[in-house]
Structure 1
Amino acid sequence: MTIRQTTTTLAAVLMLASPAMAQRSLGPATGTVRLEQVQAGFIASGEAGGGTLRFQGRSYPITVGGLGIGSIGASRSVASGTVYGLHRRSDFAGAYVQLKEGWAVGAAGRGTTWLRNDKGVTLKLATRRQGLQLQLGADGVLIGFRQ
């Protein structure tokens, strides 16, 4: 792991530990994002989906996929939230560290997810889940632009 990746991971861990402090230090919002994903796991987990980035008055379709640890069960989630630190659209695509906590039982379920990439782009997402799942862990997530 490079120093840059280690720093990004540490920053993401600190954000989850203190969301209020993290939000103040991120500066103003630079965009919004909405994601829809399917997730499944038994200790290890996987997820796939897509969504939309709103940045500088335009909408961009995106894809999302990842692998991680800290999940048991399966769920469908819809997440929406704020993007911080995005100055160029091209900085949005790439690998993210994701820290998550949440639950789903039937149609009821909520959680919070923080994602950060090595370009300083941070996503704070509120999630709604359906299914049967418990999550508390970390993932590596790849976000790209849909062609």
Structure 2
Amino acid sequence: MSGMKVRLLGRRQALVGIAGAVTAAPVAAQQRVKSGTVYIEQVQVAFIGSGNVGSGTLHFQGRSYRFSVGGLGVGGFGISKMEASGDVYNLKELRQFPGAYGQARYGAAAGDKGSGEMWLENPNGVMIDLRTRRQGLAVSLGADAVIIDFK
């Protein structure tokens, strides 16, 4: 999947790239070298389409880097606040981290009880495996194009 290029030229093209991310995630998971960790907080709103906005911290080579995260996608219903932590794989240089990521996700939230998992990958082959905790009322199953940028 590292050859996948998510183009932000239009929603239709992004959704085509997302479909590739969802189907290729299990293959890509076999080719990974852990290189750091992340923590993310974001709010997600979904009604067939979805949108999210938030921020996070990357821990890489003994240092911490703040970043923003946002995106659009398909699948799900409701509104939720998400906290996620996980591992970063295949990051060799800091400049490989920001950019467009394809995301596959699943999960549910009802009140303050909810969890799920997300896999993200960018065109540089950097992968992020996130374990999520959600609050709100939402069902999440789908894919997104996520943009990460340093603050």
TM over 0.5: yes
Identify the residue that residue 38 of structure 2 maps to in structure 1.
Answer: 33
Give the letter for the 2:24 counterpart: L
Alignment map for 1:1-147 (pairs within 5 Å)? 4-5=4-5, 10=20, 12-15=22-25, 18=26, 22-26=28-32, 28-146=33-151
Secondary structure of the 2:74 match is: strand
Aligned residues: percent identity?
A: 48
Count of paired positions:
138
- Alpha carbons 2:22, 2:143 under 8 Å: kept: no
Please provide the CA RMSD for this pair. 1.7
1:62-105 CA-to-partner distances (Å, cap 9, x unmatched) read 10000000010000000000000100101000000011000000
- List alignment gaps of at least 5 residues for structure 2: 7-16
**Cα displacement (A) at 1:12:** 4.8
Cα 1:67–1:88 change in 2 (3 A) is same
CA distance in 2, matches of 1:68, 1:12: 12
Give the letter for the 1:70 counterpart: G
CA distance in 1, matches of 2:86, 2:4: 25
TM-score (norm 2): 0.85
CA distance in 2, matches of 1:98, 1:36: 16
CA distance in 2, matches of 1:145, 1:5: 20
